[in-house]
């Protein structure tokens, strides 16, 4: 018998992507509300409590409200908002970034899906900090560009109406909802300096962490970082580390196809003590819908790659 799944916020960008991945799956039966009941709290409460799994694709406050509507002890939740990403009683839904995390997700009732930018940052940095190759007390900088679909319907509309705008830098107050998530789950002592931007490509994302290993004083070289990432992600069909030698540029194309992979690159100077760690991913794939489906598969005891685009 298939698991029942209700996507609360199914009409949004992420919700539509998740429904597209689950629509043909025999293991899941999507619970759908009529359009006129999509925001009706009573209809939502009934759907939430009648479902085996609930996926929240909502603004933060609405996601918190949805959790408060649960009146049973069995409905399991995956929250794709940022409302619970640093909450102590929620399991962080990034299966690969930390040893044992997949098992925690499998047994969890409440899972908070990672943000798109933090997926790139944590995929690169968290295993290296955990293994002592990078210091936890370093002031890390994150430079990132994303396709405009990451901003939801409002930003999509702005980009489609303002054809002369190709690049938007934001977060200029040095505050962003992803910063606490990156600091907590990488185990860092300081907030990161986060410099996000949006470019004229519908989907896709490049996240970069520049490192001066010589200044850090730990003795690690670029090759050490690459080998550690390869060891950590060994056997993963989703996360793939790459050596940067021979790659002259990384491209974010306007028509890049959808993917649920996370590709990690280590670029370095000749001595190996100046490094650019770079993650490339789909902000709607591993950065949102893809990782949600992966977490759902894990929680349901299925092959975690089912329904993914790899």
> Which residues make Cβ contacts (< 8 Å) with residue 31, sequence separation at least 6?
4, 5, 6, 47, 50, 51
Among 95, 116, 155, 264, the active-site one is 116
Report strand pairing: 193-199 vs 110-112.
Answer: unpaired
CA distance 51 to 275: 47
Could you tell me the CA-to-CA distances from 26 to 3, 14, 21, 128 in Å, in that order? 9, 21, 12, 39
Residue with tokens 């994303």: 146
- Please tell me the number of Cα atoms within 13 Å of 161 on its side-chain side: 6
> Which residues make Cβ contacts (< 8 Å) with residue 62, sequence separation at least 6?
9, 56, 81
CA torsion, points 22, 23, 24, 25, in degrees to nearest 10?
Answer: 30
CA torsion, points 235, 239, 243, 249, in degrees to nearest 10?
Answer: 150
Q: Where would I find the H helices in the chain?
A: 13-22, 41-50, 60-68, 101-106, 116-130, 152-161, 179-186, 213-216, 222-232, 290-299
- Residues 261-289 as b/e (b if ≥16 CB within 10 A, e otherwise) read bbbbbbbbeeebbbbbbbbbbbbbbbbbb
> Which residues make Cβ contacts (< 8 Å) with residue 116, sequence separation at least 6?
146, 150, 205, 281, 283, 287, 288
**Around Cβ 216, how many Cβ atoms within 10 Å?**
15
116 given a catalytic annotation:
yes
Q: Cite the active site residues.
A: 116
């Amino acid at each position: 018998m298939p698991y029942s799944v209700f996507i609360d916020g199914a009409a949004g960008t992420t919700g539509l992507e998740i429904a597209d991945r689950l629509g043909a799956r025999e293991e899941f039966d999507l619970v759908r509300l009529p359009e006129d009941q999509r925001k009706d709290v009573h209809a939502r409460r009934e759907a939430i409590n009648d479902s085996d799994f609930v996926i929240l694709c909502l603004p933060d406050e609405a996601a918190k409200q949805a959790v408060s509507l649960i009146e049973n002890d069995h409905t399991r939740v995956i929250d794709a908002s940022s409302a619970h990403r640093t909450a102590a009683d929620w399991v962080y839904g990034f299966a690969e970034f930390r040893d044992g995390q997949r098992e925690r997700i499998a047994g969890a009732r409440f899972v908070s899906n990672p943000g798109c930018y933090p997926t790139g940052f944590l995929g690169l940095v968290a295993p290296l900090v955990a293994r002592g190759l990078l210091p936890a007390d370093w002031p890390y900088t994150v430079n990132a560009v994303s396709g405009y679909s990451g901003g939801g319907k409002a930003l999509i509309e702005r980009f489609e109406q303002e054809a002369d705008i190709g690049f938007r830098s934001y977060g200029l107050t040095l505050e962003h909802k992803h910063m606490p998530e990156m600091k907590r789950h990488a185990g860092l002592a300081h907030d990161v300096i986060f410099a996000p931007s949006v470019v004229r490509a519908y989907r896709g994302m490049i996240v970069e962490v520049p490192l001066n290993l010589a200044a850090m004083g730990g003795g690690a070289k670029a090759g050490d970082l690459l080998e550690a990432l390869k060891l950590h992600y060994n056997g993963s069909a989703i996360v793939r580390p790459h050596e940067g030698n021979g790659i002259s540029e990384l491209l974010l194309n306007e028509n890049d196809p959808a993917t649920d992979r996370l590709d990690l690159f280590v670029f370095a100077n000749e001595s190996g003590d100046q490094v650019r760690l770079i993650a490339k991913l789909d902000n709607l794939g591993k950065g949102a819908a893809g990782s949600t489906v992966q977490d759902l598969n894990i929680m349901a005891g299925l092959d975690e790659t089912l329904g993914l685009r790899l």
